[in-house]
Structure 1
Amino acid sequence: MIWIFAVLGARFASAAGISRYVEAALGQRAEYGVTAVLCGTFPLSVPALAMIGGSYALTAFGIEPERLLVVSALFLLSAVLFNLSGVRTTTLINKVSLLLIVATVLILAALRLPDLITGGRLWTAPDFTAIHPASLWKVTVLIFWAYLGWENMSFGLEEFKNPNKTIKQVYFLSFVTVVVLYFALAATMNGASIHDSNVNVTQGIAHLVPAQWRQLFSIATLVIILANANAWVFGASRLFYSAGRNGLLPDIFGKLDRRGIPRNALLLLAGCFAAVLLASAIFHLKIEDLVLIANQNFLVLYVACLYCFWKIETGPSRWPLMVLGSASCAFLLAGFSYRMLYPIALLIAGMLYQQYRAKRPGLSV
């Protein structure tokens, strides 16, 4: 999928991101449908990330669990404010976050070298006897969350210089970096979980460091998660801005302020985040619920991107990537059942709205 996003991104660098790929391959009606799915997905995925960050904050500062939504709201507010302050601030935070991530993983791997080695050895001789298919599906879908983000990059590609060259380089280097870091971290946690079950909880990574360093480590983790949320808000705001520019949302959200920031789109996004947190409080939604719904929506979008790649690409990689990608997405989508009604409803609503606009002489599509 990363290669597919790199190819499509280099050809169609636009703030519309995935929606632009779909428009190029399937037309404007499909673009509206996909944009609607995206607009219904980011307001779930970013609060889920903020709630994960909130869980770490509770551990780091000894805050009562009942304060999770309040802390999550502070995470989201910070991410929105950083984006409102400008691209330079956002870029600086992302650079600091990258340095922290690399340093943190390397330090953990060094401190827990025996666990890293043990975890790596466990992967060389896996035990499949105790694995239930339903459990395998759920774990795989949740792990899929860790690898989200490359599709989010598509919304910022319009701001790249020399996109044909730089976009593919960015995708490749980010993929290699993420794989190495996740391998080291996952192997370390895998080995440590044998003698310490605490590493398996949401904020369990904090148990990998000595107790006297735990609070400092948790603070570093909070900064990393905040920077991640900051990047997601950046992508989501460009999506909402593009939706306003293209007519799916009111045109007030398709305007930039004098600094080139989609301020109105950011404010709309903040309102959506507040609504999701309120719904989480009323309906007692868990982090896992938001993650699963967001993941299934992204998988639906991955299927759309696969088809766009297959229709646009003419090289030898066309069919192999289509087959492998389709098989992976089919497995991951198989267990969602009734939850699939949500992205389907968004897709249909977006397509119907495009048809409505096309029939109104006073509205341009």
Structure 2
Amino acid sequence: MKKLVPIVALVLFTGRFVDSQECIGKCVKKDECRLAGSSDVFVVPMLPVTQAGTLDGDFIDLRLDEGCDRLETCCTEQDVIPSAIKEQYSFDKCGERNQNGIGYRLTGHKVGVAEYGEFPWTLMVLKTQMVVDIDKEVYLCGASLIAPNLALTAAHCVVNFKNEKYLVRAGEWDTNTDRELYATQTRETSEIIIHENYNKHHHNNIALLRFDKPFTANKNVQTICLPPAGTNFDGQECFTGAWGKDKFKQGKLQNILRRVEVPVVPHGPCQSAFQSTRLGSGFKLHDSYTCAGGEENVDVCTGDGGAPLACAIPEDSGRYYQVGIVAWGIGCGQKGIPGAYTDVVKFVPWIRNKMTALGIDAKTSTFP
């Protein structure tokens, strides 16, 4: 079974990586230049992380644009234009995926990489830790936004420090820059609610995170819909991913949000697949789990725990229900072996009851 909490943490940096070339003009965000090709972003997602939890600077190749951050462009003064980002947004349409991303045209190594803003409900769960005698924000897990002040994640992500504060970040995409078109938002947890029947076997692996203040709706910050109780998604192709490792052994945590497409696997065949592994023929998959995946080298991995499994809503394919929460697996991406996900469909009544008790309106995660 893969470890449920990453051994190597991804440390988030506030500094910018630049090269030695100088910009003859002005470094501006991609939407503030009229030059052709100014919206292109060259993707180099696989940046090694050292055992100390810091990025290996000798390996970094961000293909920067003449001394600018890679999410900026070097623009002549006469071609600088005002940003068009002035729209007001609200949480009135959950689960809306930005399939083609927001504002950028990705080039380079973009296989398995989410478009910027593609999954605006995906969150980062962070914890402040000392790294080489310096306080750093360390990435622990993924989560999903189901209300402006409430997130859904896996219990195993937060159970070890349930009485401590976490930071939750919305709108993140590339952890190596703060120059995305839309700003990220960070909130502190005020309450952590772990399912009453969560246990050492990781049954009922679900938790809610309440924030000290709500997130503000934006193009890159939106909620995901929760499915009606009893809905079946077996066989449907769905999406998941966070900033976890790209492979199980000697894998690297990713600086850019991952996009992994996997089919939902029925409970019976999934249990049989797990019985063919070292879990043995007597293994019983708890009914709090569903499964997805099984294609070789296409899987979430260590560090993706807590991330949502999102499936298209039959009545509106541009919008998505959260069907699962990344939980555990046998390695990552083994052929014929799916991953285990907390079955959100079974927990919708529990989630709704907790929302009612907290005084949180369910409409921001309700379709239509």
TM-score normalized by the length of structure 2: 0.27
TM-score between the two structures when normalised by the length of structure 1: 0.27
Give the strand-richer structure, 1 or 2: 2
Structure with greater helix share of residues: 1
**Greater relative CO, 1 or 2 (CA 8 Å, sep 6+):** 1
